[in-house]
Structure formats: structure tokens, C-alpha cells
Structure 1
């Protein structure tokens, strides 16, 4: 089957990773969660007292970037790859609210974005990849054959995130999660470097009132049409 590059962007908690994992599995593609990469760098910064405390030290974080090693390792039992930070599995820790509170701040740092975007571009050289994040269709893969921009109301997204955190045993309040979602939206959309925005040729996909099965079937069928058109040489 002809392989393409699939870029999925959108606001936090819109289900980008869920649909990206499903697509990758159905197509036999590689899945890359770029959000996990930014979260891992954020966790590194928190652990080293560079963000999250009374004083942040972005300069020190930039100086320490060469010491950060990120790697995805596939977990057969889970059916997806987990994030490793300097050879430590941090998949669960990076999904917590503490990291969520600071990831947008770390992600707007120019040097952080340059480092991770370079990694991401190298991952997608051979196509056959599904990558989700904030700037995949605009910066990482501007020539991707399929670009999807996912959205949903802040309230719907906050509720999904709230339920997810509760299921993981974390003690959080819905109001705190909603404030975090709204805060991240503001930072992600207004940052100077690689702001979150819909690529001109991306498909807008609002799943506020859509179940997982329905959204997957719609996007999967559209993906198959794109692949078939490429096979026929149709742009």
C-alpha cells in the first residue's frame, strides 16, 4: 500500500493521540506522540527545579538540553510506545496535572522547539507515520498528504481530561482541569515560535459531540481515499 504522512494537530484533550494511535494501528504505520516529548522535557525541568517553583530558570534549562535523551519504546502489552527520559519510563508521570500546568510554558521556548522538531522531522523521513501535536502540519510536516486539525469545546475537553485523570487515580477537580485547558489554549495559540494554528490545507474536525467509533471511522475512511488518490497520482 502507498504510504503517506499524516499530521494531526489541535487543542489539548481533543483526542489527538487516541485517533492517531488508532490510525497508526489500522494502517500499520509508526505513531509518534510529540506531546509526550514536550511533557518529558517539562518533567526534566520540574525535577531540576527549573520550572514549577517560585523561580524559573529557562537559561539553565536551555543549557541542559544536550543532557536530555528521549526515546519511544514499544510496549507489547499496552499496544503502543511509551516515553523514556534518560532511559527511565516516565509515561505515567508525564500525564499528570503538574506536568500539564507547565508544558505549554516549556513548549514555547525556542531552543526546546528547535531540538524536538529536528528529532520529529528525522522520524518521518520514510513516511508511513502518524504524528500528533501542535505544529505538525504547519512546521514539522508542511507537505504531509493528510492534515487534520482537531477541536472541541473547552468544557468538553476539560471533562474528558478530568475523567482520564480520575481513572488513573489522581485527585483533581474539574474546575482546576478546565482552568488548565483554557490556560494552555491561550499560551499555545499566542506563543512566538510555532503557535498552534490550523494549516490552510488541514481538515477541521470538531468532535465535541462525537463518539470514538464515529470519529475514527470518518477519519479512517478519508485516509483511505487520500492513499488511493496518491496511488492514482491524483493530487
Structure 2
């Protein structure tokens, strides 16, 4: 791998690499990494429009399956800007707490600033109009996983209030595998707010799958949505309801 950029921001250490192999696939890729070394974003330099990472393909596939002609999505956790770049700033508003991440998404991954706000995602979501969104997507992480204030009953109620009728909430979460109590409690908390909530896994190459799960919540009609290719339901044990402290 070739190091392209390395810098510390107030929120952590960031690196950008170019590599000729990603999860067993040969090509020309650029990746964004945080301090834990996990790939947080990637672009195929030969085909920049392609969605490279399995969990991001799952998110996009679900968004297309649930409401193909959706009008407005709010994404918390901009990263390399894959979702914003895929759908365009007219359809996606993104929130990113780290200004350096936003700058690098533009400089190294070709994602324009349009539609990206810098700040806490929950606070920025609270500033949107009730019933104005088709999707609320959470793809934000700290070293410990999803930030606690983005995993509570009160936050999920805020998201539900901002969704239009038939809208859905999608969360990319990372756990410790089977029996992860925090992921179980996140799903249980979603089920306390939304009529329907479930967990989905997305298959990827090599070590790409890790312990990523997509949590999907919304109206009961979501139970009839066909899952994208390489996605399947994932059984998660019941947990407890998470609340603001």
C-alpha cells in the first residue's frame, strides 16, 4: 500500500492509502482508514461510480428496494462520501463531525462539499423539519463503535419523527459477533420505537464482512422488501432498551 495522506484531527487519526488489492480483489483502490485500521471508505480509481464496500452496497441496495425514487435522505457519518456521491447532493444531506474527513472526501475521493454539514449528527438532525425525510442513515463510529447518543430510545424517536410516512431508518453497526449485547440492545431499542426492525448481514470478499450488520427499521411493510444480493437476515438475541443518561 502507498500512503497518500496522514493527519490527526481533533477526533482521531486519519490515513489515506492507494492499494492494488482490497479484500482479495485486484485493481486500483483508494481507502480511508481511521486509527483502528479499519477501512472506513473506499473508491475504485478505475470506476469511481462503483460502490466498493459490501455494507455500503447493502445500504444502497436497501434504499433502492424500499423507495427507489426517494426524495431526501439524511446520512450521519459522511466518511469518504460514498452515499452522497452515489445519489447526489440534491437527494442526500450528510452530517460529519470531523471537518478533516469532509475535506479529504473532496480532495481524495471526489465528493463535493454540497449537502454536507459539519457538526454532531443528532443535533443537525434535530434541526430538520418533522416528516421531511425518506431515510435516516447512521454510519458513524468512534473507537468503541456507534456513539452512545446515536443508539438510544430518544434518538430513534427523533429519527422517526423526521421521517415521512413509509420512511425507514438504516444503521451500519459493528459488534463483537454472536452474543454482542450492545448490538442486541440497539435492535431492541429500535423495536420499541418502530413497528418493524430487523438485522441484516451483507456478504463481502475476504475479511470484508467482519461483524458489520445493517439494522433496518420503519413501517411493517419493510418485512416484505426483497433483500439485495448477498444480503440475508441475521438473528440477534433480545437486549434491553438504551436511553439517554
| TM-score (structure 2 length as normaliser) | 0.32
Higher helix share: 1
Higher strand share: 2
Point out which structure has higher relative CO (alpha carbons under 8 A, 6+ apart): 1
| TM-score (structure 1 length as normaliser) | 0.33
